[in-house]
């Protein structure tokens, strides 16, 4: 298998008979119908903010079962067994894996807007079904909840490639010098914020129900999850596909073999690192309240929720620190530092577990620092690197595949978490996290590309030249910026097309 070309290789280095600067016939901007610059810029701005607000919904859904698992265990002590708890929790993950792959392909073939609108609808429909969960028996009710959570997962999983790809492309055109920090603040921050946000909503509803009427509590929490995606639905309908997509989309005859030859190493890196990250972080998020409940002992559900809220808040500083340093230190070094946090704090908690759990605040602080180091490194960088490593024409597909492998890791971790906890003890869940940290460092070092904040258009042109050099003759782009693959963009073409304006 051919080695991967350097992603930052200048276009002139891709020389072949098929495409050179002398043989290219650039598209004349005057012959292209264009989108008004103000409309495109406004669309980019709304795309960034709508992506961030919508991903809060995904973070909310990902963390909703954290306290709900504890509540359902109290409400249905006999029926809500370990098997049922794992099944309900994993339903979201299975849906997310399918959604990430399907919507990843969809957002490349049909456009970012089409994919985003569809994922929004799926989250709302699934949320309504979960709220209305019912059955002739209690077990039947849990099966309906499982299916509903799977539908929510399909939509939430699809948000990863659709929202992240569109946010990255919009940030590249709107604020290219700060694309990395901007991307993190509208992707991983809302996803991480969803944890304490979900717990806060849960505590408010629980208090409003006077710490009783458990069925009302979880149904209201499921129903509230429908509000967040609906709040940005109008802006998503009005958004435009990015300029990068309209020039770089590949809608027919996608050369997947060439894509694998070009990106095989990066795919191993993003898929492998994401698997390890989600293997640790997702079950530790979903079952963290269960762990805290066992540490607190005879504490009430409200007390467990309060400690869980503190844990979620402690995980947030890592997001901000990673966003600040991603351009200064580089994506790859930060990811390795983050995995090192799993090693350090996982070993501290695991090796001193019997002593540290006697001091609940100290345990929660170290637990929060471990989660925060995950956010600082792989949590921030995996989405950013996956959105920057791959060309626009296959960005959604490769991002979705990487995220799907990650969610597969989350499903495996969730499935293995309770058996490890029951057979080996709580401390081994942290020791396993430390082991994953070591493997994560190695995968990052050997396979993850060392990227800079270079304009994504340069990487698109490198990829386009590589395809032409290897005999691909398809078309790229859509509507106003469509062209044959061997027609390189004239310097500044996209800039000119969006800088002009047309009357409606």
List the CATH number of the domain containing 455. Answer: 1.20.1250.20
Tell me which residue range forms the domain holding 191. Answer: 11-473
What is residue 456's predicted lDDT score, i.e. its pLDDT? 84
DSSP 254-290: --HHHHHHHHHHHHHHHHHHHHHHHHHHHHHHHTHHH
d(CA 480, CA 340): 47
What is residue 398's predicted lDDT score, i.e. its pLDDT? 92
3 domain-assigned: no
Q: What's the token pair of residue 127? A: 């949320």
Phi, psi at residue 18, to the nearest 5°? -75, -35
90 domain-assigned: yes
115 neighbors 249 (Cβ within 8 angstroms):
no
Phi, psi at residue 475, to the nearest 5°? -105, 150
CA distance from start to end of the chain: 50
What is residue 326's predicted lDDT score, i.e. its pLDDT? 87
449 neighbors 389 (Cβ within 8 angstroms):
yes
Q: What's the token pair of residue 259? A: 């894509």
**504 residues of the chain, pLDDT tens digit each:** 444 444 444 433 443 333 333 333 444 444 444 555 677 777 777 777 777 777 777 788 877 877 788 888 888 888 888 788 888 888 888 898 899 999 988 888 888 888 888 888 899 999 999 999 888 888 899 999 999 999 999 998 888 888 888 888 888 877 777 888 888 888 888 888 887 888 888 888 888 887 778 888 889 998 888 888 888 788 778 777 778 888 888 888 888 999 999 999 999 999 999 999 999 887 776 666 666 766 666 656 777 777 777 877 888 888 999 999 988 888 999 999 999 999 999 899 888 888 887 887 888 888 888 888 989 999 999 988 998 899 888 998 999 999 999 888 888 887 787 787 778 877 888 888 899 999 999 999 999 988 776 778 888 888 888 998 988 887 887 766 666 666 655 444 444 433 333 333
CA atoms within 13 A on the CB side of 174: 23
278 domain-assigned: yes
Residue closest to 102 by CA, chosen among 406, 346, 327, 396: 396
Strand partners, 308: none
Q: What's the token pair of residue 239? A: 């958004």
73 domain-assigned: yes
243 neighbors 46 (Cβ within 8 angstroms):
no
5 domain-assigned: no
H or E segment and range at residue 484:
strand 483-484
Q: pTM to 2 decimals?
A: 0.79
246 domain-assigned: yes
How deeply is 415 buried, as exposed, middle or buried, from its count of CB atoms within 10 A (0-12, 13-18, 19+)?
Answer: middle
Report DSSP state, residue 483: E
117 neighbors 84 (Cβ within 8 angstroms):
no
Centre a 10 Å sphere on the Cβ of residue 328 and count the other Cβ atoms it contains: 8
Total number of domains constituting the chain: 1
d(CA 310, CA 361): 9
d(CA 351, CA 249): 51
What is residue 474's predicted lDDT score, i.e. its pLDDT? 77
488 domain-assigned: no
298 domain-assigned: yes
DSSP H helices in 175-209: 179-186, 188-208
Estimate to the nearest angstrom the gap between the alpha carbon of 204 and the chain centroid: 27
15 neighbors 478 (Cβ within 8 angstroms):
no
d(CA 238, CA 43): 8
């Amino acid at each position: 298998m051919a080695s991967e070309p350097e992603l930052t290789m200048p276009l002139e280095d891709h020389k072949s008979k098929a495409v050179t600067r002398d043989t290219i016939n650039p598209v004349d901007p005057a012959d292209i119908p264009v989108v008004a610059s103000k409309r495109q810029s406004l669309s980019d701005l709304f795309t960034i903010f709508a992506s961030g607000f919508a991903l809060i919904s995904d973070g909310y859904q990902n963390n909703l079962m954290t306290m709900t698992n504890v509540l359902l265990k109290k409400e249905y002590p006999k029926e809500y067994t370990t098997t049922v708890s794992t099944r309900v929790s994993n339903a979201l993950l299975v849906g997310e894996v399918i959604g990430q792959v399907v919507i990843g392909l969809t957002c490349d073939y049909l456009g970012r807007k089409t994919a985003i609108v569809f994922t929004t609808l799926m989250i709302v429909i699934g949320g309504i079904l979960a709220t209305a969960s019912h059955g002739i028996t209690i077990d039947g009710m849990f099966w309906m909840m499982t299916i509903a959570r799977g539908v929510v997962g399909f939509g939430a999983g699809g948000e990863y490639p659709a929202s992240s790809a569109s946010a990255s492309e919009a940030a590249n055109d709107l604020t290219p010098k700060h694309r990395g920090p901007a991307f993190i603040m509208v992707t991983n921050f809302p996803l991480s914020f969803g944890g304490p946000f979900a717990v806060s909503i849960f505590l408010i509803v629980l208090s409003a129900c006077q710490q009783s009427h458990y069925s009302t509590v979880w149904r209201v929490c499921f129903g509230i999850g429908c509000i967040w995606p609906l709040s940005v639905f109008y802006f998503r309908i009005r958004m435009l596909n990015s300029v990068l997509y309209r020039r770089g989309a590949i809608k027919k005859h996608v050369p997947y073999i060439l894509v694998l030859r070009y990106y095989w190493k990066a795919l191993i890196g993003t898929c492998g690192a994401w698997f390890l990250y989600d293997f640790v972080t997702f079950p530790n998020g979903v079952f963290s309240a269960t762990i805290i409940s066992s540490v607190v002992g005879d504490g009430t559900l409200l007390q467990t929720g309060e400690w869980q809220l503190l844990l979620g808040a402690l995980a947030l500083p890592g997001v901000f620190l990673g966003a600040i340093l991603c351009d200064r230190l580089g994506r790859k070094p930060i990811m390795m530092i983050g995995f090192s946090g799993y090693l350090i704090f996982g070993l501290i908690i695991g090796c001193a577990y019997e002593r540290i759990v006697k001091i609940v605040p100290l345990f929660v602080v170290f637990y929060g620092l471990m989660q925060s180091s995950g956010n600082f490194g792989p949590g921030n960088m995996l989405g950013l690197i996956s959105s920057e490593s791959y060309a626009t024409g296959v960005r959604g597909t490769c991002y979705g595949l990487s995220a799907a492998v990650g969610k597969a890791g989350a499903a495996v971790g969730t499935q293995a978490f309770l058996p490890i906890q029951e057979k080996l003890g709580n401390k081994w869940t942290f020791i396993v996290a430390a082991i994953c940290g070591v493997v994560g460092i190695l995968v990052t070092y050997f396979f993850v590309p060392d990227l800079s904040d270079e304009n994504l258009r340069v990487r698109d042109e490198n990829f386009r030249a590589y395809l032409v050099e290897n005999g691909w003759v398809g078309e790229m782009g859509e509507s106003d910026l469509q062209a044959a693959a061997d027609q390189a963009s004239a310097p500044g073409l996209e800039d000119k097309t969006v800088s002009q304006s047309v009357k409606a």
